[in-house]
Structure 1
Amino acid sequence: MTPTIPGFDLRRVPVADGVELTAAVGGSGSPVILLHGFPQTHLMWRHVAADLAAEHTVICPDLRGYGASDKPADSDGTAYAKRTMAADVVALARALGHRRFALAGHDRGALVAFRAGLDHPDAVSRLALLDILPTLDMWDVLHGAQAAVAFHLYLMAQPPGLPERMIAAAADDFFGHFLDVWTQDPQALPAEVRAAYLAASRAAVPSIVADYRASAAIDVVHDRAAREAGNRLAMPVTVLQQDWGAALGYDAAALWRTWAPDLRHRTVGCGHFMAEEAPREVAEALRELLAR
């Protein structure tokens, strides 16, 4: 049986032509939307969501292409653009009766949240981004042998066909690799949750690859245009990150300030899956952001 977030209801919500998202919804009060990362589903927020639901309506969708949400074919390279996925989030909120909401994202979900903040500043009141860099900065700081830590970015950036076949041939090994090496506390991913992540990812190889491929193509185009136009995040922003900067040779907070004038940046002493490894610290940071 697939784990769930206690006290939350699962809903199917239309967000675009032929696309529905599955979202866990719970609590009451001002809305907060939480977006998951790779290779996960909305379950990654189970601790934080239950905590925040005491004061807020908390909405945890599976992104398009992931989990139990729809997985449209990517015929023209835009189906998994972060602009498209951000529009899904705004449509989800409006379908649930919310025109303005706080938004937090981890990993891939943070890239979607970043684009939502740029494209929909009237809808996004507060923004939290967990353990990413913006797409342009990410590609800029990856170089030399150190870029081997991000081999999956380069693999899934390749033209359709080979990446999908390679990953599908050893899906549990591929996705399980990241669940293993990106966490400092294996107990944070119980066996039933890990199994749910692997099953969901195994069933979504083409759409997951399309999501990553977009970040080497159309997302770069959109983010470069935003940078050249001087677009910045207008809302209060909190960024939580591991200290990758020392290893890769960049100042993460300085990079983020070019995008977010109202920024609070914090280094977190845990692995990549911080909402599961350090849920109290993440919930505390979100509450601080919501109070700003």
Structure 2
Amino acid sequence: MTPVIPGFTYHEIPVAGGVSLHTAVGGSGSPVVLLHGFPQTHLMWRHVAADLADSHTVICPDLRGYGASGKPAETGPDVYAKRTMAADVVTLARALGHDRFALAGHDRGALVAFRAGLDHPEAITHLACLDVLPTLDMWEVMHGRTAAIGFHLYLMAQPPGLPEQMITASADAFFGHFLDIWAGDPGVVPPEIRTAYLDACRAAVPSIVADYRASAGVDAEHDHADRDAGNRLRMPVTVLQQDWGAALGFDAAALWGAWAPDLRHVTVTTGHFMAEESPADVTKALRDLLTRRPGPHRPEP
């Protein structure tokens, strides 16, 4: 049986073009949407979601192309563009009765959340991004030998065909590799959750690759256009991040600060899967974020 978040109800919510998002909803109060990363599903939020649900309506979808959500064919670059995936999230929240909501994302979900904050500032009240850089900045800071840590980014950026074949041939080893090396403590992902992650990824290789391929193309183009136009995140933003800069030679807080005038950037000591490794700290950071009021960058509703 596939694990679930206890106490949450599950829904299949249509968002666009015949795509539905598999979504867990729990609690009551002001809405918070939580977006998972790679190679995970909404289950990565199981601890944080249960905690937040005592005072918030918590919404945890599987992203388009992941988990039990719809996996449309990659018929063009926009199918898995973060712009498209961000629109999915806004449509999802509205279908559940929320025109405005707080949004937090980890890894791939953080890229979707970032794009939602830029494209839909009228909908996003607060924004949290966990352990990621905006797409354009990521491509610009990775270079030389240190870029080897992101080998999967380059593999999945290749044209359709070869990446899908290579990953499908050894899917559990490929996805399991990241669960092993990115965790500060591999034990935080128990066997039943690991199995759920691997099962979900094995069934979604083409769409996962398409998601990454979009980041090497259309997503970077969208970020570039926003940066050139001076578009910025207008809501309070919290970023929790490992100290990547020590290894890759960049100032993460400065990179994020260029996008987010109202920013709190926190360097953490956990591994990449911080919502599973240190859920109490992540929950506290999100609760603190939700107490911040919009500044001059965004008017009160």
Question: What range is the shorter-chain TM-score in?
Answer: over 0.9
Counterpart for residue 251 of structure 1:
251
Counterpart for residue 296 of structure 2:
none
Alignment deviations for residues 2-28 of structure 1 (CA, whole Å, 9 cap, x no partner):
111010011000000211001000000
Counterpart for residue 291 of structure 1:
291
* Matched position secondary structure for 2:264: strand
The answer to whether residue 167 in structure 2 is matched with residue 163 in structure 1 is no
Paired residues for 1:28-67 under 5 Å: 28-67=28-67
What is the CA–CA distance in structure 2 between the aligned matches of 1:165 and 1:188, rounded to whole Å?
30
What is the CA–CA distance in structure 1 between the aligned matches of 2:66 and 2:152, rounded to whole Å?
17
What is the CA–CA distance in structure 2 between the aligned matches of 1:154 and 1:191, rounded to whole Å?
29
Structure 1 residue 46 displacement after superposition:
0.1
Partner amino acid, structure 1, of 2:143: H
Paired residues for 1:128-139 under 5 Å: 128-139=128-139
Counterpart for residue 146 of structure 1:
146
Partner amino acid, structure 1, of 2:109: G
What is the CA–CA distance in structure 1 between the aligned matches of 2:221 and 2:250, rounded to whole Å?
23
The answer to whether residue 195 in structure 2 is matched with residue 195 in structure 1 is yes
The answer to whether residue 17 in structure 2 is matched with residue 22 in structure 1 is no
Partner amino acid, structure 1, of 2:182: W
Structure 1 residue 74 displacement after superposition:
1.0
What is the CA–CA distance in structure 2 between the aligned matches of 1:97 and 1:125, rounded to whole Å?
15
Alignment deviations for residues 173-229 of structure 1 (CA, whole Å, 9 cap, x no partner):
000000000001111100000000000000000000000000000001111000000
Paired residues for 1:63-102 under 5 Å: 63-102=63-102
* Matched position secondary structure for 1:225: helix
Partner amino acid, structure 2, of 1:229: A
* Matched position secondary structure for 1:126: strand
What is the CA–CA distance in structure 1 between the aligned matches of 2:250 and 2:220, rounded to whole Å?
20
What is the CA–CA distance in structure 2 between the aligned matches of 1:145 and 1:186, rounded to whole Å?
26
Structure 1 residue 76 displacement after superposition:
1.1
Which segments of structure 1 move beyond 3 Å, counting only runs of 4 or more? none
Task: Point out where structure 2 has 5 or more consecutive residues left out of the alignment.
Answer: 293-301
Could you tell me the TM-score, scaled by structure 1's length? 1.00
What is the CA–CA distance in structure 1 between the aligned matches of 2:76 and 2:32, rounded to whole Å?
32
Alignment RMSD (CA, Å): 0.4
What is the CA–CA distance in structure 1 between the aligned matches of 2:20 and 2:228, rounded to whole Å?
33
Counterpart for residue 298 of structure 2:
none
What is the CA–CA distance in structure 2 between the aligned matches of 1:72 and 1:39, rounded to whole Å?
18
Alignment deviations for residues 100-144 of structure 1 (CA, whole Å, 9 cap, x no partner):
000000000000000000000000000000000001110011000
What is the CA–CA distance in structure 1 between the aligned matches of 2:185 and 2:142, rounded to whole Å?
26
Counterpart for residue 264 of structure 1:
264
Counterpart for residue 107 of structure 1:
107
Structure 1 residue 77 displacement after superposition:
1.2
Counterpart for residue 241 of structure 2:
241
The answer to whether residue 246 in structure 2 is matched with residue 213 in structure 1 is no
What is the CA–CA distance in structure 2 between the aligned matches of 1:67 and 1:76, rounded to whole Å?
21
What is the CA–CA distance in structure 1 between the aligned matches of 2:169 and 2:99, rounded to whole Å?
43
* Matched position secondary structure for 2:127: strand
The answer to whether residue 273 in structure 2 is matched with residue 277 in structure 1 is no
Task: Point out where structure 1 has 5 or more consecutive residues left out of the alignment.
Answer: none
What is the CA–CA distance in structure 1 between the aligned matches of 2:251 and 2:220, rounded to whole Å?
21
